[in-house]
């Protein structure tokens, strides 16, 4: 990955709701008004997931808001968007999707160094309620430690 990536949107909920086993970078097919809307940062990935259709992977339920100046050439905000991956990567992800409890979720959408929109996908396994509580507890403890250390200095 490039050091100069500009983040458009992040799915902060994904790391809380899932154990992310591995990540992969994918291209995404967008129309012009979607790219312009993404440049304005009007992307929501929090409900999105990846599914298979006709041997290709698609991003479902991610919302890219309509571009206000596109008039009749605007796009549908929640349409399925095709992901651009190599055949080997597609088969690997599809094999993992078929396993019980494994899903592919979008983690972030960003512009790479060349100005192309890329999406970071995570191979994820759902957390149970106990695991989510442990995550909250750990996060609170690290905050408290930082406050204590900051107060001593």
Q: What is the CATH number of the domain that holds 96?
A: 2.40.280.10
Domain membership of residue 146 (yes or no) is no
What is the pLDDT, as a whole number, of residue 3? 67
Domain membership of residue 144 (yes or no) is no
Task: Tell me how far apart the alpha carbons of residues 60 and 81 are, in angstroms, rounded to a whole number.
Answer: 7
Q: Helical H runs in the chain?
A: 12-17, 32-39, 87-97, 129-152
Query: In terms of Cα–Cα distance, which of 139, 127, 128 is closest to 18?
Result: 127
pTM score, whole prediction: 0.77
What is the pLDDT, as a whole number, of residue 1? 46
Task: Tell me how far apart the alpha carbons of residues 6 and 1 are, in angstroms, rounded to a whole number.
Answer: 12
Instruction: Write out the chain's pLDDT in tens, 153 residues.
Output: 446 888 999 988 888 888 888 899 999 998 888 888 889 888 999 888 888 888 889 999 998 888 888 888 888 888 899 999 999 999 988 888 888 888 899 999 999 999 899 999 999 888 888 888 888 898 899 999 888 888 765
Domain membership of residue 36 (yes or no) is yes
Domain membership of residue 25 (yes or no) is yes
Domain membership of residue 142 (yes or no) is no
Domain membership of residue 34 (yes or no) is yes
Domain membership of residue 140 (yes or no) is no
Query: In terms of Cα–Cα distance, which of 12, 21, 22, 24 is closest to 118?
Result: 24
Domain membership of residue 32 (yes or no) is yes
The domain of 48 spans 6-127
Output the CA torsion 130→135→137→139 (10° steps).
-170
Tally the domains of the chain: 1
């Amino acid at each position: 990955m490039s050091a100069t990536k500009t983040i458009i949107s992040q799915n902060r909920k994904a790391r809380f709701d899932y154990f992310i086993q591995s990540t992969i970078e994918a291209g995404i097919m967008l129309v012009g008004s979607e790219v312009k809307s993404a440049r304005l940062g009007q992307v929501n990935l929090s409900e999105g997931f990846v599914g298979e259709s006709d041997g290709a992977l698609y991003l479902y339920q991610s919302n890219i808001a309509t571009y206000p100046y596109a008039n009749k050439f605007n796009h549908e905000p929640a349409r399925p968007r095709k992901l651009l991956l190599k055949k080997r990567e597609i088969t690997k992800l599809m094999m993992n999707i078929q396993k019980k409890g494994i899903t592919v979720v979008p983690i972030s959408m960003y512009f790479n160094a060349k100005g192309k929109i890329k999406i970071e996908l995570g191979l994820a396994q759902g957390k149970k309620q106990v695991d989510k509580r442990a995550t909250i507890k750990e996060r609170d403890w690290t905050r408290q430690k930082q406050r204590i250390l900051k107060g001593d200095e």
